[in-house]
Structure 1
Amino acid sequence: MKLAVLAAVAALAFASPAAHAVTLKLGHNAAPGNPKDEASLFFAKRVGELSGGKITVQVGGNSQFGDDAEMLTGLRLGTLDISANSQGPTAGIVPQFGVIGLPFLFKTLPAAWQVLDGPIGDELKTEAEKKNLVVLAFWDNGIRHISNNVRPITKPDDLKGLKIRTPPDPATIDTFAALGANPTPMKFSELYLALQQGVVDGQENPLMNIYSSKLFEVQKYLSLTGHKYEMTVFLMSKPVWAKLSADDKKIIQQAATEARDLNRKLSAASDESLRGKIEAAGVKFNDVDTAPFQAMVKPVYEKWTKEQGDFVGRVQAAAKAAGM
């Protein structure tokens, strides 16, 4: 009898890891090789290592689990576990996130990271949690530039009448409207075909997104406007997070932070390494004096200050202190 009991206990002990195994789905919209994709795969690998194989993360890139808006809905409902999501769609749910994308706020990536890793980032995390979203880390989506098929952009007048695809991000839409362009919100997954068919004249993205999604194949000019910064918000479903053990939460948070550091490193290196490759494909680059552009977007700050109050001023002050 004792042997039978011992055998049953041993069997339960052996089975317990499988019984407590966790599988999580992580979605994003980037192409293979993009820093967002590389960091997501790294995150999955580290979670497996740190958990001793107990937690498995399935990565679905290229919008396999839906576009950004659909993934955000899944997170809030608990039907998707994790998403490396875009700033614009996230701002549609948590408006304060849009402030980080105001024009010409950050000149360098490290300045943006310093602000996001400080008190401003803590405020954003608090606001996100109110909407059933847990911010695991602020990854990077680069400083953005304008490409198009009509002419080089050297002054604001060059944008007049151009249909520029933007993400569904209020700050970006406001910025391009203020500059005289015709901002055209569109899913990133639809952008290549829209450029190829002339549905839009141009778009704005960091070089890493332009390269990994092959947008350079359907664009003639790339103007280094550096008009805004965007983060990639690494989010987890609050309902899913609440079900995890304290140890599992620590594992996921550690992996998310390590993946953030890799993502930022890859993002920072991309502008230096990719310009030559994009130029070799036939795209013509030009530098830009941003002063006239900055003068034209002042009304954007006035509008956002009315909507978001002193948060805009505090983000500006933090950016200045970080050495924008």
Structure 2
Amino acid sequence: MKPLAFALAAALAALSAAPGMAQTALKMAVETPPGDPLNLMLATTRDTLAQGGGFDIDYYDSGAMGDEKALTELLRAGQVDVVPLGSDIVELDSKFAIFDLPFLFEDKATARAALDGELGAKLAASLRETNNLQVLAFGELGFRAISNSVRPINTPADLAGLKLRTPGSQTRIMSFQALGAAPTPMSLGEVYVALRQGVLDGQENPLSVVKEFSFDEVQKYISLTNHVYTPITLAMSAPAFDALSAEQQEAILAAAAAGAAATRSLSDESDASLVQEFEAAGLEVNKPDLAAFKAAAAPLRDAFAEIVTPEFLTEVEDSLK
């Protein structure tokens, strides 16, 4: 059975096991529009829960309740119950900066196993302790590529002076500054216009996000740097989660697992098909000299160790060997 089908079956089993659940109101919100991985994770969770009943869900997408930073504050304040968080989660908990350390993960399988195992458990415990948020599941945005309208990125020297949109994460900004670019934090919803008008030269995101936000329409080059792997952290207000019955908790965790599986399937499908689609549309797609990038990024390790703590970074590195 495929991962998504298995997750859906588990979720429905959890829901059917609790037919007597009272209706519980849940407010869910996401910054991005339908089709985007963040939206897919939340929508799949919502739809899976709806199949079993027991939850009365209010759903807001496409930034109807604000961008990710605004939604994060609403989540912490208990004014929204469930939000999928991408790179900006590092602003809540510094341990999540581990995902901004370039070239930490060799491939998706390694990253997924870590998130489904000890690393995910440690991050979930930390987010509970620091922000009173419950991690429901870890989905996938995936490995990130760099797109721009100036030149192909083959070596770190090609980044020199490029105005690249990044998330607001200070560690992502630090990394691109070290590589010679001019990182420019900006809300994702503003990036297309900024690229079209030349305010930005480029941006960095997984290929599925490049397609969903039509960045390929206003960029000439896509470089498959795979510089960082970004998970989706589906987070819920801990007080709201704790107020659920054991059966409801089981149901929402199972539904979230279905959402995570859906994003991983989308990531695999996008990475398999979009390079050819972008090339057919006239974009130049290249594979950079990753050895040069890894060498240039190596000095960042000490700075990241101070942010996530040397002990935590060593534990993560040892677990990946």
Q: Which TM-score applies when normalising by structure 2?
A: 0.89
The code of the aligned residue for 2:310 comes to G
Q: Which one of 32, 37, 46 corresponds to residue 35 of structure 1?
A: 37
Rounded to whole Å, the distance in 1 between the matches of 2:127 and 2:70 is 17
What is the aligned length?
301
Q: Deviations over 1:50-101 (max 9, x none)?
A: 3xx2203333222222111111111111100101111x21110111011123
Partners of 2:221 and 2:284 within 8 A in 1: yes
1:84 is matched with 84
Rounded to whole Å, the distance in 2 between the matches of 1:272 and 1:57 is 34
User: Any residues of structure 2 matched to 1:1-324 within 5 Å, and which?
Assistant: 20-50=22-52, 53-86=53-86, 88-130=87-129, 131-307=131-307, 308-320=309-321
1:14 is matched with none
Q: Which TM-score applies when normalising by structure 1?
A: 0.89
The code of the aligned residue for 1:38 comes to L
Rounded to whole Å, the distance in 2 between the matches of 1:43 and 1:283 is 35
The code of the aligned residue for 1:276 comes to Q
Q: Deviations over 1:94-114 (max 9, x none)?
A: 110111231011121111011
The code of the aligned residue for 2:32 comes to A
Q: Deviations over 1:135-155 (max 9, x none)?
A: 000110110010101100111
The code of the aligned residue for 2:26 comes to L
Please report how far the alpha carbon of residue 211 of structure 1 lies from its aligned counterpart in structure 2 after TM superposition: 0.2
Rounded to whole Å, the distance in 1 between the matches of 2:314 and 2:209 is 30
- Give structure 1 regions of 4+ aligned residues with deviation exceeding 6 angstroms: none
Root-mean-square deviation (Å): 1.7
Distance 1:59 1:280, change over 3 A: farther
SS state at 1:226 partner: coil
Larger radius of gyration, structure 1 or 2? 1
Q: Deviations over 1:194-232 (max 9, x none)?
A: 111111111000100000111111111111111111001
Identity %: 37
The code of the aligned residue for 1:317 comes to D
The code of the aligned residue for 1:125 comes to A
Q: More displaced, 309-318 or 129-138?
A: 309-318
The code of the aligned residue for 1:118 comes to G
Please report how far the alpha carbon of residue 281 of structure 1 lies from its aligned counterpart in structure 2 after TM superposition: 2.5
SS state at 1:56 partner: strand
Please report how far the alpha carbon of residue 300 of structure 1 lies from its aligned counterpart in structure 2 after TM superposition: 1.3
SS state at 2:63 partner: coil
* Higher relative contact order structure (alpha carbons within 8 Å, sequence separation ≥ 6): 2
Consecutive unaligned residues in structure 2, runs of 5 or more: 1-18
